[in-house]
């Protein structure tokens, strides 16, 4: 026990089991060791360790990292966490020299540094998985730039769109998520190391040096804030929760369009399952599980917010639990992306079936109203005219786009022979050429703009990758 000087009793076994966090932080063992290496290099640089002591500790830490990687270093639950296990083994192997490692730091700033290192690494991995998904959506949008399908509001057919416009709608949501992921990285890109328990240190440490060594862009400027805040974790959960919402939403769309009642998309067999009882079934289980997992991601945000809002400055042991939902969200997102990208790539659209779904012509009602507007009819008046025509068609079992010019004369004298040619799926969607609209021209512009936005975000992530410290430890310097 590292604090045995103050206590007259050993920790009870039940408390030891309750307070240990190895199930949460052992996955960060390499990050913890890398943080300690930066710290010991700094201690040698500022003269708190001799060059020989610094090199000896770094050499021992590198060997511990290798032992952890090959499994020969087995942590002890009695030592609570990854930090204490690494330090105890270091002291066991180097004696009093290793006992000097912890000067100028606390587990408060050490653990926060370790989490930030690990979280930044996880974020970079998530981006590597997310980028292909975004590229797939752009590719699908280009493939379906002219594929006409119904668009919906209130789950009722509304207007003709293209499937390319649909894919780009979801791309826009996910590219915003990518920016939030980048924001989460930037929020994590501050070094708390050297902040100590809460007030810094009386020793002449160099926090800027350790920050540079660990690839941080800057240091946390206030030592109390450095150990107390978890904004970087909350920023990641905010990304994760919105990503989950957006992944669930596209899943819901595809599930609906895949049903027999809609039936104008097909899903790849490899991403569906059958029924144990009903031979005809093809169930969209992967999409349903994605939809289900999103709840865990939104729950992680609530978990983190609730934890932080009830704690006074500075460090509280509650924060040990901040990693439980964090790692769950990281792992959940990576598992989702693993299936999302190849699934989207193989979604097929049956345009003929989609067009059959709006043979009643009511989907062109707004087109007709705007046609009348162009002829000088006030919109509210044109809305009423077309509404009466829709009601008449419903009562007489007629398609709205089947009315002749003479029949339209019953509702408005402003309709001419040029209306009928406009009431086709291709004509309807091509005329929606306002910025951001559903026309093929606009969809292709969105794709090009999407490629640029994606490239810009990727460039920023690549910049951070270039700064990220290697966790592949070199041969000991001693």
- Segments making up each domain of the chain, as ranges: 13-103, 108-149+163-203+216-356+446-467, 362-422
Reading the block at residue 158, the tokens are 């509304």
- Condensed to tens digits (0 to 9), the pLDDT of residues 80-128 reads 999 999 999 999 999 999 999 999 999 999 999 999 999 999 999 999 9
Angle CA(316)–CA(318)–CA(322) in degrees, nearest 5?
Answer: 120
- Condensed to tens digits (0 to 9), the pLDDT of residues 235-282 reads 999 999 999 999 999 999 999 999 999 999 999 999 999 988 998 999
pLDDT at 15: 80
CB 190 within 8 A of CB 217: yes
Q: Domain 362-422 is of which CATH architecture?
A: Orthogonal Bundle (1.10)
Q: How far are the Cα atoms of 31, 173, 237, 243, 398 from residue 332, in angstroms, in the given order?
A: 21, 19, 12, 11, 50
Q: Which CATH number fits domain 13-103: 1.10.167.10, 1.10.275.10, 3.40.50.1110, 1.20.1250.20?
A: 1.10.275.10
Which of 12, 72, 154, 260 is the catalytic position?
Answer: 154
pLDDT at 8: 53
pLDDT at 334: 98
Of 201, 5, 179, 214, residue with least CA distance to 104? 201
149 has which bridge partners?
A: 161
Reading the block at residue 305, the tokens are 């917010």
Low-confidence stretches of the chain (pLDDT < 70) are 1-11, 474-478
Of 63, 129, 55, 65, residue with least CA distance to 97? 55
pLDDT at 95: 97
Furthest-apart CA atoms within the chain: distance in Å: 101
Task: Say whether pTM exceeds 0.95.
Answer: no
| Annotation says 36 is catalytic | no
CB 108 within 8 A of CB 314: yes
Reading the block at residue 332, the tokens are 């959940």
CATH of domain 108-149+163-203+216-356+446-467: 1.20.200.10
Which of 275, 306, 402, 404 is the catalytic position?
Answer: 275
HSE value, Cβ hemisphere, 13 Å, CA-based, for 219: 18
CB 135 within 8 A of CB 171: no
First to last CA, the chain: 29
pLDDT at 478: 40
pLDDT at 474: 61
pLDDT at 11: 64
| Annotation says 275 is catalytic | yes
pLDDT at 139: 98
pLDDT at 477: 43
């Amino acid at each position: 026990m590292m604090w045995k000087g103050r206590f007259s009793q050993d920790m009870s076994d039940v408390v030891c089991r309750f307070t240990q966090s190895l199930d949460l932080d052992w996955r960060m063992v390499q990050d913890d060791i890398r943080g300690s290496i930066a710290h010991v290099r700094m201690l040698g640089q500022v003269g708190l360790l001799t060059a020989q002591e610094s090199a000896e500790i770094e050499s021992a830490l590198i060997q511990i990292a290798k032992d952890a990687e090959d499994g020969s270093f087995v942590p002890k639950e009695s030592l609570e966490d990854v930090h204490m296990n690494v330090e105890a083994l270091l002291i066991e192997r180097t004696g009093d020299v290793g006992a000097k490692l912890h000067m100028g730091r606390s587990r408060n700033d050490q653990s926060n540094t370790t989490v930030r290192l690990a979280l930044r690494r996880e974020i970079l991995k998530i981006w590597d998985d997310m980028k292909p998904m975004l590229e797939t959506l752009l590719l699908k949008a280009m493939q379906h730039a002219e594929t006409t399908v119904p668009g919906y509001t209130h789950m009722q057919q509304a207007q003709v769109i293209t499937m390319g416009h649909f894919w780009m709608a979801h791309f826009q949501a996910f590219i915003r998520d990518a920016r939030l992921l980048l924001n989460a990285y930037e929020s994590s890109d501050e070094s708390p190391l050297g902040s100590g328990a809460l007030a810094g240190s009386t020793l002449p440490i160099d926090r800027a040096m350790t920050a540079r060594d660990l690839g941080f862009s800057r240091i946390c400027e206030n030592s109390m804030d450095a150990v107390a805040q978890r904004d970087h974790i909350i920023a990641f959960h905010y990304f994760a929760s919105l990503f989950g919402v957006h992944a669930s939403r596209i899943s819901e769309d595809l599930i609906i369009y895949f049903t027999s009642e809609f039936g104008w998309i097909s899903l790849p067999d490899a991403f569906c399952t059958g029924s144990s009882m009903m031979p005809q079934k093809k169930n969209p289980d992967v999409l349903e599980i994605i939809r289900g997992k999103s709840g865990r991601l939104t729950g992680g945000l609530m978990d983190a917010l609730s934890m932080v809002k009830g704690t006074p400055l500075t460090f509280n042991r509650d924060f040990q639990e901040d990693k439980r939902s964090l790692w769950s969200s990281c792992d959940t997102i990576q598992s989702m992306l693993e299936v999302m990208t190849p699934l989207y790539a193989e979604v097929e659209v049956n345009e003929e079936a989609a067009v059959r779904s709006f043979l009643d012509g009511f989907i062109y009602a707004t087109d007709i109203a705007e046609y009348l507007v162009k002829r000088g009819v006030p919109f509210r008046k044109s809305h009423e005219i077309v509404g009466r025509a829709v009601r008449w068609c419903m009562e007489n079992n007629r398609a709205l786009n089947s009315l002749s010019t003479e029949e339209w004369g019953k509702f408005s004298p402003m309709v001419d022979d040029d209306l009928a040619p406009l009431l086709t799926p291709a004509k309807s969607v091509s005329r929606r050429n306002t910025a951001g609209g559903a026309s093929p021209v606009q969809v292709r512009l969105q794709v090009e703009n999407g490629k640029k936005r994606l490239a810009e975000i990727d460039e920023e992530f690549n910049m951070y990758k270039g700064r990220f410290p290697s966790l592949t430890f070199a041969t000991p310097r001693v």
